[in-house]
Amino acid sequence: MIGVSGTTKNLGVIGWPIAHSLSPAMQAAAIRAAGLDYAYIAMPVRPETLPAAVEGLRSLGFRGFNVTIPHKSAVMALLDEVDEDARRIGAVNTVVNENGRLLGHNTDVTGFLRGLSRQGVTVKGKRAVVLGAGGAARAVLWGLIREGAAGIVVGVRNAAKAREALTDFAADVEILSWDGDAFAGALASSDILVNTTPLGMTPKTGEMPPVDWNRVQKEIFVYDIIYTPGCTRFLREAKAQGHRVTNGVAMLVGQGAEALSLWTGVQPDESVMEQALLAALSEKENGGRA
């Protein structure tokens, strides 16, 4: 196993708070498995100190860092360049330091699409329904648009509010109240259904978006980007109806693998990352007991 030395390159994740982050366990496992001379740490950064922190990481020669809540949008103004995915999503979750130039990426879109491809689901020419219009939804929507979805409907509680939030996606998506008949019609004609809301996430595991499964076509693929718990009420009900499903584990692993590849040029072993992630999740569910 590679140890930390004077040649070790530094990586990390910034956020506030950050103690809950699963990225260190996942990335450290991938780094060890690949025999890379890198170290990855979690770094708590308060919102008011973000500019100083970013400049500090640049000055210290960090090869790169992940960015999580609440800094994903604010960090963009502090970087030298952002890629097309990050620009369209309006958020950066991965920064690469190229000889002092900080380049922003958003690997959430890659992670989301890998979650589909691992299940043999293609997007091109398919109709999709996305539940929710928050930050996570933007990555999902851009992934579906980028891959050539034939039609995208966004289902939300408050359609007017969602239209304001997704103004820049207006030409590509239709936004509907999930209580209306038009939304039920969209479910009946769609191939992919994605939940991007926090409904059903631990600890409120009894919640789920209001989906009438009787209006959903049998062949639809159901994707919940939540990964705690591993099987939400939304997914349990979908499985009970005979739908194929997946959770957010593949998305989380996929975005992390893409980030590590951007930093190192090495494609990591995603199975190793997934094992480390699941072990860390299990430890959290058991109250910190291994």
**Residue 9 among the catalytic residues:** no
| Distance (Å) of CA 134 to CA 7, 14, 25, 54 | 41, 21, 27, 25
Measuring CA to CA, which residue among 49, 64, 75 is closest to residue 258? 64
Helix (H) or strand (E) holding 144: helix 135-146
| Alpha helices in 4-134, H assignment, sequence order | 23-34, 50-59, 84-89, 108-117
CA distance 151 to 124: 10
**Do residues 154 and 174 lie in contact, with contact meaning Cβ atoms separated by under 8 Å?**
yes
Among candidate residues 9, 72, 124, 239, the one labeled active-site is 72
Q: What is the DSSP letter of 134?
A: S
- Tokens for 150, please give them: 């034939």
Which residues are 15's β-sheet partners? 44
Q: How many CB atoms lie within 10 A of CB 95?
A: 29
Tokens describing residue 268:
């990591």
Q: Which residues are known catalytic residues?
A: 72
